[in-house]
């Protein structure tokens, strides 16, 4: 059931197009994450949802009602800000309740509700403290408590964890997930951290330059990026991308560049680029974890040779930077591989995990098929009723 619907939502600041026509449907109870580099329009979009930013064009509806012109307080949303937005002169409890009473003097009693929310978040002992007596994590909890107390239709969270240290961030992530599992309130969450996006979202919308590049569940986003931007943005270290020529070798299509030629495996015959792509240029993509170093004896397949430049031990893996035909290629190798800079190694690619993008950056080929691909060739920019989300 669609809860939030964005139709060609657009925001211009003077001549600057911050958000450039976003179409999106968010299901009731869904946890949707906006992720993208800074300036991609993710926060602006969230602020349009909240009513803190006017909508230049397009429509926004919440629960079937168009709310473009509704002031923020009539939208029944609650927002958690990056800097927590706590009033320094009020205690935690006062911060949570301030604004619930509209008038200057009428202050109704919210003690019970506050106690309940505080219990949930484990901040019962902190209610009488002022923000400056709270740690970053505690402030964040109060800010979340503030939002919970309002029992809104929609939670909006704007980079709520980015001011916390790494360890706390991971803890809060888990807590947010549990909270969402209990409450099942529709949530829109903005972050620039792709790990956070992947771990939290039922679906993740990747934004770039004011547009949605792709909206999908995290694993699908990772396995089947629809654009080169998504391919490079999701996953660390980023996917290797190599400019290539596409050629017909007779038995198969091959991609080639200096010192490197690879036949594209025929994944159920569906996704191989059509003959029309032959002769054109494109970008070949493979993730570092889908490349392996082949030990000397097992070289049966036509090996790809690359020279090692630098090695970075990551602990659970060894990241090897190689040069392949003048381009850099990163390989996530076994942690204790004996690889030295200057050495030439043979590489093998996981044939299930190869990607090809055309010059416009759109995916034209994935070497394997999405599991239940009932979406056909649907344009990712169309509003999509979520399929694999719940």
Partner 1 sequence: MSDFTKPYRSTTQAGLLLVPTLVVLVAFLYYPAVETFRLSFFQTLLLGTGQQFVGIDNYVALATSAEYRQSLFVSVLFAAAVVVGTLAVSLFISYLLFEVRAGASGYLLAAIWPYALPTAVAATILLFMLHPTLGIVTHYLEALTGLTLDWFTSGPLAFGVLVAVAVWKQLGYNIIFLVAALNNVPETLTESARLDGVGRLRMLVRVYLPLISPTLTFLVVMNTIYAFFGAFPLVDLMTSGGPNNATNLLIFKLYRDAFSFNSLGLASAESTVLFGIVSILMYVQLRFSDRHAHYGA
Partner 2 sequence: MATNTDTATETAPSRRLRTRLERAFNGDLFVHVALAGAIALVALPLVLAVIMSTQSTTEVYEVTNLGLGSAGLSNYETALTEYNLTRYMINSAVMSVVIVVGKVSLSLLAALALVYYRFPFERAVFTFILLTLLVPVPVRIVPLFQLMADLGWANSLLSITGPYIASATAVFLFRQHFMSIPESLVENARLDGVGPLSFLVRVLIPMSRGMIAGVSVITFIYAWNQYLWPLIVVSDQSKQVVQVGIKFLQGASQSGLTQWGLIMAGAVIALLPPLAVLVALHRPLLETFAIQQK
Query: Under the rule (CB under 8 A), what is the footprint of partner 2?
Result: 50-52, 71-74, 77-79, 81-90, 98-100, 102-104, 150
Distant-in-sequence, close-in-space partners of 252: CB < 8 Å, separation ≥ 6: 263, 264, 266
The answer to the question of residue 158 lying near partner 1 (CB under 8 A) is no
Long-range contacts of 306-309 (CB under 8 A, 24+ apart): 306/344, 306/345, 306/347, 307/342, 307/343, 307/344, 307/345, 308/339, 308/340, 308/341, 308/342, 308/343, 308/344, 308/345, 309/341
Looking at the Cβ atoms of 78 and 308, the one nearer to partner 1 is 78
Torsion on CA atoms 112, 118, 120, 122, rounded to nearest 10: -150
Of 54 and 280, which CB lies nearer to partner 1 in the complex structure?
A: 54
Shortest spacing between CB 190 and partner 1, in angstroms: 15
Partner from partner 2, partner 1, none contacting 267, C-beta within 5 to 8 A by type: none
Q: State the minimum distance, in angstroms, from the CB of residue 137 to partner 2.
A: 18
Q: How far is the CB of 328 from partner 2 (least distance, A)?
A: 41
Of partner 2, partner 1, none, which one sits near residue 13, judging by CB under 5 to 8 A according to partner kind? partner 1
The span of 1-9, 25-33, 50-58, 150-158 binding partner 1 (CB under 8 A) equals 50-58
**Of 113 and 263, which CB lies nearer to partner 2 in the complex structure?**
113
CB of 275 to partner 1, least distance (A): 49
Size of interface with partner 1, in residues (CB under 8 A)? 5
Instruction: For residue 323, say if its preceding peptide bond is cis, omega within 30 degrees of 0.
Output: no
The answer to whether residue 83 forms part of the interface with partner 1 (CB under 8 A) is no
Contact residues for 268 (Cβ-Cβ < 8 A; gap 6+): 369
Closer residue to partner 1 (CB): 50 or 179: 50
Minimal distance, residue 109 CB to partner 2, in Å: 17
Token pair in block for residue 14: 């003077």
Gap between the Cα atoms of 308 and 345, Å rounded: 7
Please tell me whether residue 53 binds partner 1 under the rule CB under 8 A.
yes
Residue 108 token pair: 């109704």
> Which of partner 1, partner 2, none does 85 bind, CB closer than 5 to 8 A by kind?
partner 2
Residue 89: which of partner 2, partner 1, none does it interact with, CB under 5 to 8 A by kind?
Answer: partner 2
Nearer Cβ to partner 2 (100/386): 100
Binding segment for partner 1 (CB under 8 A), chosen from 47-55, 80-88, 116-124, 182-190, is: 47-55
Determine, following the binding rule CB under 8 A, whether residue 213 of this chain makes contact with partner 1. Answer: no
Integer Cα distance of 240 and 225 in angstroms: 13
**What six digits make up the tokens of 205?**
């919308």
d(Cα 155, Cα 77) in Å, to the nearest integer?
6
Of 45-53, 117-125, 217-225, 264-272, which segment contacts partner 1 by CB under 8 A? Answer: 45-53
**Residues 6+ positions from 342 with CB-CB distance below 8 Å:** 307, 308
Q: Is residue 52 at the binding interface for partner 1, with CB under 8 A as the rule?
A: yes
The single residue among 1, 54, 101, 309 that binds partner 1, judged by CB under 8 A, is: 54
85: contact with partner 1 by CB under 8 A: no
Cβ pair 204, 218 in contact under 8 A: yes
Q: Tell me the CA distances in angstroms from 111 to 108, 114, 124, 143, one per residue in order.
A: 9, 5, 11, 17
Q: How far is CA 347 from CA 104, 332, 356, in A?
A: 71, 11, 19
- Residue 223 contact among partner 2, partner 1, none, beta carbon within 5 to 8 Å by kind: none
> Could you list the residues that contact partner 1 (CB under 8 A)?
13, 47, 52-54
């Amino acid at each position: 059931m669609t809860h939030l619907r964005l139709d060609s939502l657009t925001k211009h600041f003077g001549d600057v197009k911050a958000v450039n026509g976003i179409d999106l449907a968010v299901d009731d109870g869904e946890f949707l994450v906006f992720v993208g580099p800074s300036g991609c329009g993710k926060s602006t979009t969230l602020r349009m949802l909240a009513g803190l930013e006017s909508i230049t064009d397009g429509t926004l509806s919440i629960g079937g009602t168009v709310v473009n012109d509704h002031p923020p307080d009539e939208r029944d949303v609650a927002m958690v800000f990056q800097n927590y937005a706590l009033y320094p002169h009020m205690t935690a409890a006062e911060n949570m309740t301030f604004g619930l009473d509209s008038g200057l003097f009428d202050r109704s009693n919210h003690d019970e509700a506050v106690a309940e929310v505080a219990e949930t978040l484990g901040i019962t002992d902190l209610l009488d403290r002022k923000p400056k007596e709270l740690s970053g994590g505690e402030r964040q909890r109060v800010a979340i408590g503030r939002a919970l107390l309002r029992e809104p239709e929609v939670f909006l969270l704007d980079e709520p964890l980015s001011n916390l240290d790494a360890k706390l961030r991971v803890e809060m992530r888990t807590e947010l997930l549990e909270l969402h599992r209990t409450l099942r309130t529709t949530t829109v969450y903005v972050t620039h951290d792709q790990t956070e996006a992947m771990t939290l979202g039922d679906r993740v919308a990747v934004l770039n330059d004011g547009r949605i590049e792709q909206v999908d569940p995290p694993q699908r986003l990772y396995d089947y990026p629809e654009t080169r931007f998504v391919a490079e943005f999701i996953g660390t270290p980023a996917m290797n991308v190599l400019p290539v020529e596409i050629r017909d070798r007779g038995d198969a299509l091959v991609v080639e560049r200096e010192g490197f030629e690879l036949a594209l495996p025929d994944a159920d015959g569906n996704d191989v680029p059509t003959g029309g792509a032959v002769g054109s240029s494109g970008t070949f993509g493979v993730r570092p974890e889908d490349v392996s170093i082949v030990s000397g004896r097992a070289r049966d397949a036509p090996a790809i040779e690359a020279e090692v430049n630098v090695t970075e031990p990551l602990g659970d893996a060894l990241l090897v930077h190689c040069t392949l035909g003048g381009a850099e290629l990163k390989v996530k190798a076994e942690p204790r591989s004996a690889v030295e800079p200057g050495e030439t190694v043979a590489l093998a690619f996981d044939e299930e995990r190869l990607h090809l993008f055309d010059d416009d950056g759109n995916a034209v080929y994935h070497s394997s098929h999405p599991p239940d691909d009932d979406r056909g060739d649907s344009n990712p920019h169309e509003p999509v009723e979520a399929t694999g989300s719940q």
